[in-house]
Structure 1
Amino acid sequence: MTMRGLSALPLDDDLLDRVMTFCPTFGTLGAMVLASKGFHRVFQTHPKSIMRAVAYNIVGPALPQALRLIRYPHPPPEDPIDMATTCPEDHEPSVMTDDEKKLLQENAEVVQKLENIYSLTTKDRTSKTSLLTSEESWRFRRASYRIMLYCKLFPGNIYSFDELEDLDDVQIAKIRRQRTAVLNEYPTDELLEIFSVVKFIGGIFVEVNGGIDSSDDLDVLLSAGPAGAVSCWEDRDASGLDEDLLNLLDGDENNNLFTGYFSLPFQNIWATRNIKPPKEDEPASKYVLDQVNGANDTCSHCATPGGLALLTQANWDRQQIFSTQLLKAKLKSNQTLTFPFAQAAGNLSDAESLGCFIAGFFAMSRRAPGFEDWEVGQSYCQPCLTKYLEEHAWIWLLEERVKTGWVPPEDCWYGYNCNTQTHKLAHAQQKNHLCVPTRGSV
């Protein structure tokens, strides 16, 4: 046992070492080292093993891939083989610089967010937090870091428009050989994992952007990698991506450099290895997940099969909403209501706001007839959830306006079905149309 003064912690050095290896972040480790001479002394004795243990706590078993990503030299070598083998995935302990620790933490946060999205959309629709098993998570993260490295080596914003136009077929062919060489370093089973995660990332870009005009546009977006996919998912559009990359989407030029950004290297490798290529309609869960939860579930209201596409409280933000279109019947054409409704609904472009907006509809004390038994914890197909929102949007707007001090005028006999409200502003202002019709067809 090592002897200490009265101010030292009454623990053996091996226990202090062990305690430090459980630190969840580098910041926690730094604070611990500064808090005690004993911790400081032990850290100075075993910096590599302790640092690696904390890095593992942050990243998980995909640490070798994460380290290669942050340590790969820039600019990379031009020879395809050298590019593929430079800075191999390191399994040995090593001391990290402050810049490396910061990058490792930032990248880990991106991969964790991406895994949460992957779990929600391909594993289990009921949880915003990843429910992947440890083995599934390892496969996913290992593939994600390798995709991040690939996108770092072949970024979408590396060339300006003028430089793209100057690239000849020989140069483009060389870059394609480099891409193939980089992916060809991985064994087939791990390459299939990468294929699945690329398919998943592409699916995010397609869903968030309401479809992609061309495969070339999708290839450009794929060059934004996991960080770009997370940004698009959170913002519900591509506006947060690099401006130079977005300019490529807006341009009319045929960007041959990005054609087959991932698909061509995959095709080359399958052919070289004489492997049957994965089918285009294979789900993004294949090669990564061992099991999918709720794949055969049906809508709680209409019993339509939906599986992971069903909407729950965890994934309500996948619902595509144009707020004023939710107003019932003729209300959506009442100019005195559409602006107040859009204003009350707020910004529904980001995932968190949209989820809170829908949750508010289920929290209402007043329910439309026929919807009394609908519960927040159930799963609904998109048509059913849309119907629920449409039947309650006008009630919600009425309650929200009253909360802010609005006093409704006399109800119109025809309520939300009134035709006059759509073309006579005076009538729309003088009568309340946020009500059930008492005349005409309800």
Structure 2
Amino acid sequence: MLFSGNGLPVDDDILDRILTFCPTFQTLQSTMITSKSFYRVFQTHPKSITRAVAYNAVGPALPQALRVLRYPYDEYNTPDADPAAMVEACEEDHLISVITAEEKQKLQENSRIVVKLENIYSLRHKDRTSKTSLLTSEESWRFQRAMYRIMLFCNLFPSTSYSEDMDDECIEKIRRQRTAMLKEYPTTELQELHSVTKFLQGICEEVAPDASLVQMLLSTGPYGAMTIWENRSYDTLEEDLEFPDFDDDDVDLKLFSRYFSLPLENIWTMRKVTPPKDEDPVSKWILDQVNGANDTCSKCAAPGGLQLYTEANWDRFPIYLPNLLKHHLKQNSTITQPFYVATAQLAQPENLAAFIGDLFSFTTRTSPEFDGWMRTDSYCNACLVKFLEEHLWIWFLDERIKGGWTPPENCWYGWNCRTQVHKRFHAETKNHLCVPIKGDAI
């Protein structure tokens, strides 16, 4: 027995219980090395303790997460594989067997991806005020269970595993395999999966120029969607996965066309189930409640709901900042070139969010209409654009002066001067980062 600090004995059952409450495998390992008694208890019940910690680390979707790791992809990653055998391989098993050290590491890696995506999903579709997921335990389970099943599907039907000479017959075989793999799930859980794929597709659509590329990106699964979100681009993903070049009649287009929607449509038809509607919100089938769905802009009262901007989602503001310089400043190359250099770091989402927050410190130096504009409020796109336009040039003036620039004499027409656009000498010898004192200042 291990004795506590007050001399009371601690039974092995209690030690066992303590170990099962470890939130991660690292915590379990650290706890075991603090005492021989903890180590001895673990050695007595390694399976049950490891299983309990695995559920703590991954959540109730552990069976789906383990199947992602254990599925024999190499055996079935071929058009000739039997669809029925593919479904039966490594079925989701709630009686979890021994988890290896390699699996523990991979479980945690995949879990981090799924949790990050849940945070994004929550911010966009549950509650716009929090970067951390506010999904209930039931909603989180639905989301994560679907996400791991999507991960399995994309691992089994990836974008880089097929030969270029694949014909229509091979493509049809793969489509049957895809339908079979999804058909094993109950209809309600397929509806959940549909909603989550719609969420992932939305992320891909923000960066992809056409529908064909969206489907190719969708085939990269949760990892691809997270990479796209974090980089606001698919460039890195394209380099990593070496997407094949394809034309309109290319086999790759046929292979990835309607990547998820086609097998799901086949299943809706077979089961005589009314298919989801295109206009259905991404929250349908996953969320029981959406927070702030009817909220309005804090300044103009325009309806916006989850589309309103808050401190939690400023990093997704889509406007190219140089376009928000006041009036004719955006056409003055002596302004735009150094401005571009000064704001280059804002391409990183976290930097952009912090920058917008800092701009609220300039409100005392603009017109009285911005008195009371708080960083904690919610803004529609039009109001946030207005705020940025009125403050970006002031911030840039301060930045240039801090960098050692001495402003020349102010132009009477300030940022509204038209001459600065087509006369470089005037643009260089007069300061236009100032309020007009002549002409129309509106």
TM-score interval, smaller chain: over 0.9
Write the distance in 2 (CA, Å) between the matches of 1:154 and 1:348. 36
Which range moves more in the overlay, 179-188 or 346-355?
A: 346-355
Indicate how the Cα distance of structure 1 residues 345 and 5 shifts in structure 2: closer, same or farther if over 3 A, else same. closer
Q: TM-score, normalised by structure 1?
A: 0.94
Q: Which residue of 2 aligns with 1:95?
A: 98
Deviation string 1:355-408 (CA, Å, 9 cap, x unpaired) is 122112123253421212211111111121111101111111011122223222
Q: Which residue of 1 aligns with 2:47?
A: 48
Q: Which residue of 2 aligns with 1:350?
A: 348
SS at match of 1:167: coil
SS at match of 1:241: helix
2:275 is aligned with 1:277: yes
Q: Which residue of 1 aligns with 2:405?
A: 406
2:63–2:96: 8 Å Cα contact kept in structure 1? no
Write the distance in 2 (CA, Å) between the matches of 1:3 and 1:396. 62
2:123 is aligned with 1:131: no
2:57–2:108: 8 Å Cα contact kept in structure 1? yes
Q: Which residue of 1 aligns with 2:339?
A: 341
Q: Which residue of 1 aligns with 2:300?
A: 302
Q: Which residue of 1 aligns with 2:214?
A: 218
1:199–1:284: 8 Å Cα contact kept in structure 2? yes
Tell me the CA shift for residue 302 of structure 1.
1.5
Tell me the CA shift for residue 244 of structure 1.
6.8
Code of the aligned partner of 2:215:
D
2:66 is aligned with 1:63: no
Q: Which residue of 1 aligns with 2:285?
A: 287
Tell me the CA shift for residue 342 of structure 1.
1.6
Tell me the CA shift for residue 277 of structure 1.
0.6
1:119–1:131: 8 Å Cα contact kept in structure 2? yes
Structure 2, unaligned runs of 5 or more: none
Code of the aligned partner of 2:295:
D
Tell me the CA shift for residue 11 of structure 1.
2.4
Write the distance in 2 (CA, Å) between the matches of 1:365 and 1:380. 16
Indicate how the Cα distance of structure 1 residues 304 and 248 shifts in structure 2: closer, same or farther if over 3 A, else same. farther
Write the distance in 2 (CA, Å) between the matches of 1:221 and 1:321. 23
SS at match of 1:96: coil
1:148–1:226: 8 Å Cα contact kept in structure 2? yes
Indicate how the Cα distance of structure 1 residues 250 and 243 shifts in structure 2: closer, same or farther if over 3 A, else same. farther
Q: Which runs of 4 or more aligned residues in structure 1 lie more than 6 Å from their structure 2 counterparts after TM superposition?
A: 3-6
Deviation string 1:108-127 (CA, Å, 9 cap, x unpaired) is 00000000000001100010
SS at match of 2:73: coil
Write the distance in 1 (CA, Å) between the matches of 2:402 and 2:247. 48
Q: Percent identity?
A: 58
Tell me the CA shift for residue 242 of structure 1.
4.2
Tell me the CA shift for residue 249 of structure 1.
6.2
Q: Which residue of 2 aligns with 1:382?
A: 381
Which range moves more in the overlay, 148-157 or 32-41?
A: 32-41
Tell me the CA shift for residue 236 of structure 1.
0.8
Code of the aligned partner of 1:175:
I
Deviation string 1:202-236 (CA, Å, 9 cap, x unpaired) is 011112x1x5412x222111101111111111111
SS at match of 1:247: coil
Deviation string 1:80-135 (CA, Å, 9 cap, x unpaired) is 01111211112124321121011100000000000000000110001010000010
Write the distance in 2 (CA, Å) between the matches of 1:89 and 1:108. 17
Task: Report matched runs for 1:37-436 at 5 Å.
Answer: 37-77=36-76, 78-159=81-162, 163-164=163-164, 166-207=165-206, 209=207, 212-214=209-211, 216-243=212-239, 245=241, 247-248=243-244, 254=250, 255-364=253-362, 366-369=364-367, 370-436=369-435
Tell me the CA shift for residue 250 of structure 1.
6.3
Code of the aligned partner of 1:378:
D
2:25–2:104: 8 Å Cα contact kept in structure 1? yes
Write the distance in 2 (CA, Å) between the matches of 1:66 and 1:286. 23
1:127–1:314: 8 Å Cα contact kept in structure 2? yes
Write the distance in 1 (CA, Å) between the matches of 2:236 and 2:117. 16
2:2–2:9: 8 Å Cα contact kept in structure 1? no
Tell me the CA shift for residue 76 of structure 1.
3.5
Deviation string 1:236-292 (CA, Å, 9 cap, x unpaired) is 111121437563466555321111211110011001111111111101100000000
Code of the aligned partner of 1:423:
H
1:421–1:428: 8 Å Cα contact kept in structure 2? yes
Q: TM-score, normalised by structure 2?
A: 0.94
Indicate how the Cα distance of structure 1 residues 268 and 3 shifts in structure 2: closer, same or farther if over 3 A, else same. closer
Cα RMSD, aligned residues only: 2.0
Write the distance in 2 (CA, Å) between the matches of 1:5 and 1:201. 50
Write the distance in 2 (CA, Å) between the matches of 1:5 and 1:320. 57
Indicate how the Cα distance of structure 1 residues 124 and 367 shifts in structure 2: closer, same or farther if over 3 A, else same. farther
Write the distance in 2 (CA, Å) between the matches of 1:225 and 1:336. 44
Task: Report matched runs for 1:16-31 at 5 Å.
Answer: 16-31=15-30
